[in-house]
Amino acid sequence: MSRSPEYPPLAEISSFAPDVLRRYLDGNRAEMRDQLRQLLSQPEFAPVTTEESVADARERTLRWCRTLARAGYSGLFFPPAAGGKGDPEGFFAAGEIMASHDLSLFTKFGVQVGLWGGSILHLGTAAHHAKYLPPTIALELPGCFAMTELGHGSNVREVETTATYDAATQTFTIHSPNYASGKSYIGNAARHGRIATVFAQLIIHGERLGVHAFVVPIRDASGRPLPGITIEDNGLKMGLNGVDNGKLWFDQVRIPRSDMLDRFAQVAPDGTYTSAIENAGARFFAMVATLVGGRIAVGSAAMAAAKTGLTIAVRYAARRRQFGRPGEPEILLLDYPTHQARLLPHLAASYALWFARADLVQRYARGEGDGRTVETMAAAFKAWATDHATTTLQRCREACGAEGFMASSRLPGLKSDSDIFTTFEGDNTVLRQLAARNLLGELQQELRRPGGAGRIAREQAKSWLGWRSLPARWFRRGSVTALEWQRSILAQRARLSLLELGQAIRAGRKRGQDTAAAFLDCQIQAVQAVDAWTEAFLHERFVAGVRACPDAKARAVLTDLCVLFALDRIQAAGAWLTARGFVGASQLAAMQRETLRLYRSIRREAVGLVDAFGLTPEMIGAAIALESTADEAHDEEGARTLSHLVVQ
């Protein structure tokens, strides 16, 4: 039987127009997004769901990257002075579309542009830009970002690769002193990369001056490793096999003084070291602040993968039938409350992430990427979004049964390709601790202001007493669905979690611990506090996005989705909130009732909500989400409307 891969007419279920919502979500990059969707829908970019060798996957991904570079997408990230288009917001939008389609494509393109090219842009100066960025944008010079080592991943300060300056020859000698100092998991290193930004310990006249970045060629034009360079393939991975990850070792490799990326520190011909940032710690953090953009991109890509998985799973559930009364059509999977509970909270969270991402990208595009606030947001967003993707894609796989286990559904590939996102660009637990330290630093600054300690103490007492004395009418049916009530409780949870963390660390200091030891004892509490802060931020951005939606019908559906997101997060924190008197058993019961009501309401809109993500049939590339089957052909009308057996 021939099958035609086209959308079934399920969007008729929705009370709003998915295209209208899509245009709102796409924002001021809607035209560019549509152009890229159409490009990725061409036969050249057809998703691969059959067996493919690692070598073929790598070459295919490189071809795709070159096609996108020729189309101008690699230039979006860079300023016009460097031959780019000066549109970082557009670059993030393009990356999110790529990730919706293929995560190897997103990753390899991101290594070339965001990591290798981004390191030249952000750590180098004008001479580096002129020399390296034009061939980088054209993908004539495939590059690597060599930071992680076998012995040191997250702890970048302690990398062992050295860069020793020789004033007599005005060169740096890049050297790997042992096996563990080899750079590993480096994208583009195993096959295609010809040059790398290498992070190494700078040594001048025997003095170690901390980690700095250097440009080091690793292959000649024919692809052979250069003298002193040892390259190994990381080999077959769980996923992302279109990306050629490899290991690099350096054996006394000399590079000219001019190939130190010297935006933040300079070495004169005689070896004199200067930096406008006197504090070594501050200088290090200024350099690694370039990772902020990567964290936003990886979080956005994880969100995109989750959206693709949800598109497949929701569309399948709106067509697939199981069980029913004798003589009547079987029930659609999406009409079962348990199935709704599997998918709809994740759909709501994906929308929350979308609006938070939009805010974060705009801040970065405005040049706030070097700031501590954006660093905190990016770390927290990346951690939450990638955890969300891992959980969501597992639920989508389960929701599609055995079909979801088949490669043709694309769900196995999405799961395996996105799994590493919880680790690269920063392990999620480490990133949460980074965010916690930043938030504690802000709290400490607040305490140091005149009257700060007393104001916070009064705020805490007022908050707790206020919640304890709220009138019963606040919790009547419907109140728990009020956006302002939800915003307040999530914000109070975030604030109190941070205050309690600060108090716990202070108690450790009073017991004689230093700050590091006291924080170590509070690691779990710190991670929980950051998640509370992140969820308050996501909800705040979701509410703002709902209120800004110009279409009344779409706004009404988004409101329900926003309420569901908040209820899901509040109920997940129910024990914490109950222990502190914020909610009681009756309020939790009311939330459970409202959640079930929202499932029924949002179920009617679910197909339209995933169609609003804007994925073309070719980008979805999963037969179970697109094709009519013999099982459903007898009841096309039932696939267009709600089953009469939906629980009311």
* 467-516 tens-digit pLDDT: 544 544 454 444 788 888 899 999 999 999 999 999 999 999 999 999 99
Domain final residue, candidates 261, 280, 299? 280
Which domain CATH number covers 237? 2.40.110.10
- Residue numbers of the domain that contains 507: 453-611
Asked whether residue 506 falls in the same domain as residue 602, the answer is yes
Give yes or no for residue 50 having a pLDDT over 80.
no
Asked whether residue 594 falls in the same domain as residue 466, the answer is yes
Number of domains in the chain: 3
Asked whether residue 157 falls in the same domain as residue 113, the answer is no
**C-alpha to C-alpha distance for 198 and 250, rounded to whole angstroms:** 10
Asked whether residue 405 falls in the same domain as residue 312, the answer is yes
Torsion of CA 73, 79, 85, 90, to 10 degrees: 60
Amino acid letter, 579: A
Asked whether residue 457 falls in the same domain as residue 400, the answer is no
- State the pLDDT at residue 640: 31
Across 90-161, the runs of DSSP E, i.e. the strands, are 143-146
Domain final residue, candidates 280, 315, 340? 280
Asked whether residue 252 falls in the same domain as residue 296, the answer is no
Is 244 within a domain? yes
Asked whether residue 479 falls in the same domain as residue 535, the answer is yes
Asked whether residue 408 falls in the same domain as residue 353, the answer is yes
Is 222 within a domain? yes
Is 431 within a domain? no
- State the pLDDT at residue 480: 83
Reference 165, options 65, 265, 245, 238; nearest CA is: 265
Reference 141, options 72, 195, 222; nearest CA is: 195
Is 157 within a domain? yes
Is 13 within a domain? no
Domain final residue, candidates 611, 627, 643? 611
Asked whether residue 100 falls in the same domain as residue 178, the answer is no
Asked whether residue 294 falls in the same domain as residue 275, the answer is no
Give yes or no for residue 596 having a pLDDT over 70.
yes
Is 624 within a domain? no
pLDDT tens for residues 525-570? 999 999 999 999 999 999 999 999 999 999 999 999 999 999 999 9
Asked whether residue 88 falls in the same domain as residue 35, the answer is yes
Asked whether residue 161 falls in the same domain as residue 208, the answer is yes
Is 427 within a domain? no
Is 68 within a domain? yes
Which domain CATH number covers 337? 1.20.140.10
Whether the Cβ atoms of residue 529 and residue 501 lie closer than 8 Å to each other: yes
**What DSSP assignment string belongs to 425-486?**
TS-HHHHHHHHHHHHHHHHHHHHHSTTHHHHHHHHHHHHHHHHHT--GGGGSTTGGG-HHHH
pLDDT tens for residues 333-391? 999 999 999 999 999 999 999 999 999 999 998 887 568 899 999 999 999 999 999 99
